[in-house]
Amino acid sequence: MGATSARDGKSGTVVVFYRPDEASAQLANRLADFGPCVVVDNTEGHGVPCGEPLDGRIVYLRNGANLGIATAINQGVERLIVMGCTRAMIFDQDSEPSGELLDALPAVLAGELERDPRVALVGPAYVDARLGGVVPFVRFGYFKLRRVAPTGTMPIAVDFLITSGSCINLAVWRDVGPMDDALFIDFVDLEWCARARYKGYSVLGAPSLRMEHSLGGEPVRLLGRSYPGHSAVRHYYMFRNAVLLIRRGYIPWSWKSTELVKLPFRLAIYGLFMTPRWEHVRLSLLGLWHGLTGRIGALRRN
């Protein structure tokens, strides 16, 4: 599949379900109006009824277990490739893409590919009211991430984009490789973007496009800043995967330096301001240990 086919081809969507509700099914059904749609359900067992039937045009893949976000995205993308798609838009079940975004995002990718066939990914700025509105794009910087305001109309070169709302150029999928199953959930998007950039591809933020998206649970506010809140288990993956990525040679040292600075502050915030405090600290420290010892995949809990 060459760059020309990616420019002229069709777009599809992948939605990852985990214990979905009626709104999740409504999202998938709406996406089916915009082209091929694959739902990958990571819910344990036989799945949870959504309260609304899925559109018959949707390809529904039920895993019967939580295999992680990376595996689910890979399954969905591979199915879209079989269906002849050259672009894949990825969404979480609680994403809120507008019709304008669904039309414009593949068009932005197609336009950028006319100028540069080595574009791997484009994505919108996302809006999280709990974190203060429009969230800036990010470039890596030594000891501190550099925030880039999503202004203007021209796409902006960035170092990574969150998975939800991103549009992948499937012409480069084989060369970059799939999402890293070993990470399971956190930093999956960052790792794939860093790998793509290491291989010479670009990652672009589309500043004129917006998507409503809530990052994590209820944020913690400290010294005038809001920090996304997560469960203790998610903090395990954040700490473990940060250490795993710090040990990888293709991950930029600019990002590694920032994480090394942030890890102790995160541990203090989780231990002091999130409940149950000991569980957050315990699983964060376990994540650090498992990262140092190379433990990968899902956390196995007794």
Q: How many other C-beta atoms are found inside a 10 Å radius of the C-beta of residue 90?
A: 25
The pTM for the full model equals 0.92
Instruction: Provide the pLDDT for residue 302.
Output: 61
CB 46 within 8 A of CB 60: no
Pair 90, 73: CB distance under 8 Å: yes
For Cα atoms 188, 194, 198, give the angle at the middle one, nearest 5 degrees: 145
Pair of tokens at residue 19: 């214990």
The pLDDT of 244-259, averaged and rounded, is 97
Question: Is pLDDT at 225 greater than 70 in this prediction?
Answer: no
Predicted local distance difference test score (pLDDT) of residue 271: 81
pLDDT value of position 242: 97
pLDDT at 298: 94
What is the average pLDDT across 81-107?
95
pLDDT score for 199: 98
CA-derived radius of gyration, the chain: 19
Domains of the chain from N-terminus onward: 3-212 (3.90.550.60), 217-293 (no CATH)
Above 50 in pLDDT, residue 4? no
Task: Please name which of 60, 18, 62, 19 lies closest in space to residue 36, comparing C-alpha atoms.
Answer: 60
Name the DSSP class of 55.
P
CA distance 68 to 47: 15
Which tokens go with 104?
């414009």
**pLDDT, position 3:** 36
> Taking residues 274-297, what's their average pLDDT?
94
